[in-house]
Amino acid sequence: MKKILTGIMAVAVLLFSAGCEKIIEFKGDVTEPRLTLSSYAEVGEPLTVYVASSIFFLSDQKYGRAFTDGLDTTRGSVRCFVNGSNTPRELQLVPGADVSSLCYRDPSYAPAPGDHIRLEAEFPGFDPVWAETDVPLMPAFEVVSAQWRLTDMSDWVDIDDDWVLYDLDLTLAVTDDGKYDKYYYLQPITIYQSEWAEENYTVFYSFSSNDIIFKEMSGGNALSLLNRYGGYFSDELIKGQRHTFTITISEISDREDILYFGLIASTVNEHLYWYDVSYQQTLSAMGGLFGEGATLYSNVHGGYGFFAASAPVLLDVEW
């Protein structure tokens, strides 16, 4: 009898679910495809631009060549103007790039600190797009001290007695120029000697800090807004002064195999910061049924995308 009742209840649930099924019809405007332009200008690296076509969010094809099939590469063009020059620099199409976007590059031009760059793209059948960005000056960072200590694993369970981890406290200093229109970005990098491969391998560590410059930015410990490594802070919190602070890289293993330890310290402009913030928000919005939607930052006029810049330096850490 119990099995019969269970079967009846299961059938009832299925019938109820089928009866509640509802087809939602979209009655809004279907947006026309627009050009998307994405570029991250880095000091010392050739200027590279990625171009694609937007696709309506209810389209059946939202992957691969669907983003580039409508772009006429023979008549389309991507160009840039540097520091107000009236003479455009034509970017060349890079063959063999990802099919979901077209890659254009100017191998003869690498952005320099202080450059003002304007990008323009035109393709038949699309409205022309343009974007501008300023390349920030190089950051003035220095490593004041580095101190190792054993990681406190007293609360850990089921660990090997021979397992040893280390924390590294790095005291850094940055001297700001007082121009409150930029952000700083830090990313710890370690190169390990490999015993199982022919080449050494690189690890990018996250870090934490109790300093006010990180708390003000994230409401807690330093968080990366790009790939969960590194952290941002604003120059507005330094107010044109020299600021000393400490960050902690936790749970470093195989200390004896470390060949190199350093920090990538970058000055980034507001376009990169706000794009990364909005990108992280969109990822969070995908986390569940009731996630709140987020709008991806764009500074491209006439289309979508972002054009940002940074000036990175590599800081060697000695201990």
What is the C-alpha separation between 193 and 195, in angstroms, rounded?
A: 7
The rounded mean pLDDT for the chain is: 82
Q: What is the reported pLDDT for 193?
A: 87
- Burial, 239: exposed, middle or buried (Cβ in 10 Å; 0-12, 13-18, 19+)? exposed
Q: How many structural domains are present in the chain?
A: 2
The structure's pTM equals 0.81
Residue 148's DSSP bridge partners are 168
- 185: domain CATH number? 2.60.40
* Closest residue by Cα to residue 271 from 296, 292, 294, 293: 296
Give every CB contact of residue 153 below 8 A, 6+ residues apart in sequence.
Answer: 159, 163, 165
Question: Do 186 and 260 fall into the same domain?
Answer: yes
Domain boundary among 99, 134, 169: 134
pLDDT of 216 > 90? The answer is no
pLDDT of 225 > 50? The answer is no
Other Cβ atoms within 10 Å of 261 Cβ, number: 23
* Residue 130, domain member (yes or no): yes
Show the CA angle centred on residue 242, arms to residues 236 and 244, nearest 5°: 100
Q: What is the reported pLDDT for 66?
A: 74
Question: Do 126 and 179 fall into the same domain?
Answer: no
Question: Do 186 and 282 fall into the same domain?
Answer: yes
pLDDT of 192 > 60? The answer is yes
Question: Do 183 and 248 fall into the same domain?
Answer: yes
**Structure-token pair, residue 316:** 């060697």
Q: What is the reported pLDDT for 306?
A: 95
What is the C-alpha separation between 226 and 291, in angstroms, rounded?
A: 20
Question: Do 68 and 171 fall into the same domain?
Answer: no
* Residue 300, domain member (yes or no): no
Looking at residue 23, its amino acid is I
Question: Do 176 and 269 fall into the same domain?
Answer: yes
Question: Do 126 and 214 fall into the same domain?
Answer: no
* Residue 301, domain member (yes or no): no
pLDDT of 222 > 50? The answer is no
**pLDDT band at residue 13 under the 50/70/90 scheme:** very low
Q: What is the reported pLDDT for 223?
A: 46
pLDDT of 26 > 80? The answer is no
Question: Do 123 and 147 fall into the same domain?
Answer: no
Question: Do 125 and 200 fall into the same domain?
Answer: no
Question: Do 146 and 116 fall into the same domain?
Answer: no
Question: Do 166 and 205 fall into the same domain?
Answer: yes
Question: Do 289 and 200 fall into the same domain?
Answer: yes
Range of the domain at 122: 35-134
Which whole number is the average pLDDT over 152-166? 75
pLDDT tens for 40-61 read 999 999 999 999 988 765 555 5
* Residue 277, domain member (yes or no): yes
* Closest residue by Cα to residue 245 from 223, 270, 289, 213: 213
**Structure-token pair, residue 2:** 């119990």
* Closest residue by Cα to residue 37 from 117, 94, 125, 101: 101
Q: 221: which DSSP letter?
A: S
* Residue 305, domain member (yes or no): no
pLDDT tens for 279-309 read 877 776 665 556 666 788 999 999 999 999 9
pLDDT tens for 62-108 read 566 777 888 999 999 999 999 999 999 999 999 876 678 899 999 99
* Residue 273, domain member (yes or no): yes
